[in-house]
Structures are given as structure tokens and as C-alpha cells.
Amino acid sequence: MREDICINTAPQYEEDEIDLRELFDTIKKHKLKLFFVSLLITSLAVLYAIITPNSYTSRSILTPKEQEKPSLGAGAAALASMAGISLGGGGGLDVASMFKNLLEDYSFNKMVIEKYNLTKRLDDKEMSKNFVYVLNGEDMAKDLKNLFSFQKKKKEKSKDEIIFDAYDKKLKKMISVSSDKESGAITISATSKDRFLAKDLVEIYLKEMSDYMRKLDLKEINEQENYYKDELKRAESIEIKQNLATLLSNLTNKKVLSQAGEFYMIKQITKPEVAFIKDKSKPKRALIVIVASITSIILGIFIIFFKEFLDGDKEDEIEEREEIKKDNPRDSEISF
């Protein structure tokens, strides 16, 4: 007899279903642990928000000056072009880029730090005199500092090391320059926990960067003037002498204009001010506490499920051992 054998070729899938009720039961079982983990992390966040002093920002908005190009004769213009000389007062220079490059130049910052004795102003003890806290944060910060402070013998640093640390660890994070491509406005800003220092830093760097660019331009103008004066003495052609005289005249005009005004090539739209005591830029205390609370809950739930996973593996391992012992009772009696 022929037997018909039916083979089911349909694929078999194992469905892994997540029981939401079981997950909620697990969280409910460990709700006290979750509560205390969340409470601990949130409390630490609140403490951090209280003991962290306010940071304040002071800024100055600038705009490049419109430079008028002097009218030159064809011969003088040709000579200036061939010599690679610009008589337009720096109108084509990107002031914002120049400011940013100066902020990243250590030699320039070293000069500013030494000139204004900023190492003293940037010292934590000196700055802390003007710190502003919320609630009783100042006393709490002092208590915690005394509690966790250890008496360590500080290594004496050289003058150059102190200056470099002041620039690299503090000033670089405080001062910034930004520009708006559409309007051309340039903003120099400084953020510090000492709101008086923030305003002073904007004024200092604005003045020093402007003076630095002025000196560079004046040095170039003086070199060009000396060169053309020597050429004027040696020139024999009347036309060349006239052209050189025109160039010298325009260089003189450029020198006079470069020394006019408080700042070089820029106009100050708004002056830096000491920030109002309530007008802080950092820290965002409410945001810190909210993020810490949400993070603590997520972290607590992860720890709970991870612990349950490990406990489940241990239980399965114990059950497997017990089943092996039941199936092979003699194996448990063998001793070596």
C-alpha cells in the first residue's frame, strides 16, 4: 500500500512577545530602588546647581568702516598696482577674521596678559570676590571645598607657565568673536563668573586688537613712504616724479586717517556693559535638574532590568544543575 506523507514546508517562526504587564510588575517590584536612585541623582544635580556661581556675558557690537578709495592718476594707479600697494585704508581686509586670528595667537595674548596683569584678575581667589550664587550656595561651596580639600604641596610654576595657563585654561574659553555675513556686524563677547571682569576683557581686547592692526598698517605705510622718497630723489622723468608725489600724498592721507578715531577700521555700535546681577548666561539650573531627573529614571530602569536579567540567568543555571543531578544521581556520589 502506498502511504501519502504530507510534509508541512511552511516556515516556522518563533515569536518573541514582550509582556508589558511583566515589565511594569518588575518596575513596581523595585520601585523603592528606582525612587532612591532618582532621588540621589536629582539631589546631586540640585546641589551642583546651587554651588555653581552665575556666569555673565558682556559684549560689544561693531561694524567695519566704509573706506573711501583715493582718486589716483593713471600713472600713479599703475605704479601702486605694480608695487602691490593698497591705498584704500584697509577696506578689503576681513576685520572679523583678523580678530579671530589674534585671539588664537599666543604671542598677542601673552602681551595683553602681561600689559594688564590679567594673571591676577583671572586668579580664582580674586574672581570669587564678585561671584553671585543662588540661595546659600556660597557657604555650601566653601563647606564642600573644605571637606574634600587635601593639603597638597603646590609645584611652583615659572612666569611663562602661569601666563600660558591663564591663556590656555581660562581666556580661550572666555572671549569669542563672531560675525554676521549679511549685516557685516562683528560681536566681541566675554563670559565670566566675574561680571566686572567680563566687561573689562571686552574693552581690553577690542582696544588692543584695534591698536595692533593700526600699528601694522602704519609700519607698512612708513616703509612705503621711505621707499618712494628715495625713488623720488633718484627719478629723472617729470612724469614719474609727479606719480611718486601723488602716491606719497595718498600715503600721508592714509596715515592721518588711520590715526583718527578711537578704533581702527571699525565703528563701535554698542559698548560693553556690566551685566545686571539677574541677567546670567549660565548655568541653566532648571534645565540641569530636569535633565538629571529624567536621566536618573531611565538609568534606574536600565539597572533594574539588567539586574533581573542577571538573576534570571542564575536561576536557569541552578535549575539546569538540579535537573542534571536528578537524571544522574550516581554522578553526584562519585568523588575523586
How do residues 307-335 score in pLDDT, each as one tens digit?
877 877 666 566 666 666 666 655 545 44
Select from 41, 32, 43, 18 the least CA-distant residue to 304: 32
Model pLDDT for residues 261-281, shown as the tens digit of each residue: 788 888 899 999 999 999 999
Model pLDDT for residues 133-145, shown as the tens digit of each residue: 988 888 888 888 7
Preceding peptide of 283 cis, ω within 30°: yes
Pairing of strands 186-192, 175-179: antiparallel
Q: What pLDDT, on the 0 to 100 scale, is given for residue 114?
A: 95
Distances (CA, A) of 8 to 3, 4, 13, 25, 224: 16, 13, 13, 39, 97
The C-alpha atoms of residue 292 and residue 116 are separated, in whole angstroms, by: 41
**Res. 152: pLDDT tops 50:** yes
- Asked if residue 259 lies in contact with residue 92, where contact means CB atoms within 8 angstroms, the answer is no
- Asked if residue 15 lies in contact with residue 241, where contact means CB atoms within 8 angstroms, the answer is no
DSSP collapsed to 3 states, 234-294: HCCCHHHHHHHHHHHHHHHHHHHHHCCCCCCCEEEEECCCCCCCCCCCECCHHHHHHHHHH
250 or 82, which is more confident: 250
CATH number listed for the domain at residues 55-67+93-148+157-233+264-282: 3.30.1890
Q: How confident is the model at residue 192 (pLDDT cuts 50, 70, 90)?
A: very high
Q: What pLDDT, on the 0 to 100 scale, is given for residue 207?
A: 94
**Per-residue exposure over 216-242, b if at least 16 CB sit within 10 Å of its own CB, e if not:** ebeeebeebbeebeeeeeebeeeebee
Q: What pLDDT, on the 0 to 100 scale, is given for residue 49?
A: 92
Q: What pLDDT, on the 0 to 100 scale, is given for residue 167?
A: 94
112-133 mean pLDDT:
92
Q: Which residue has the cell 514582550?
A: 18
Q: How confident is the model at residue 153 (pLDDT cuts 50, 70, 90)?
A: low
Q: What pLDDT, on the 0 to 100 scale, is given for residue 154?
A: 65
Q: What pLDDT, on the 0 to 100 scale, is given for residue 73?
A: 46
| Average pLDDT value for the chain | 80
Read off the DSSP letter of residue 73: -
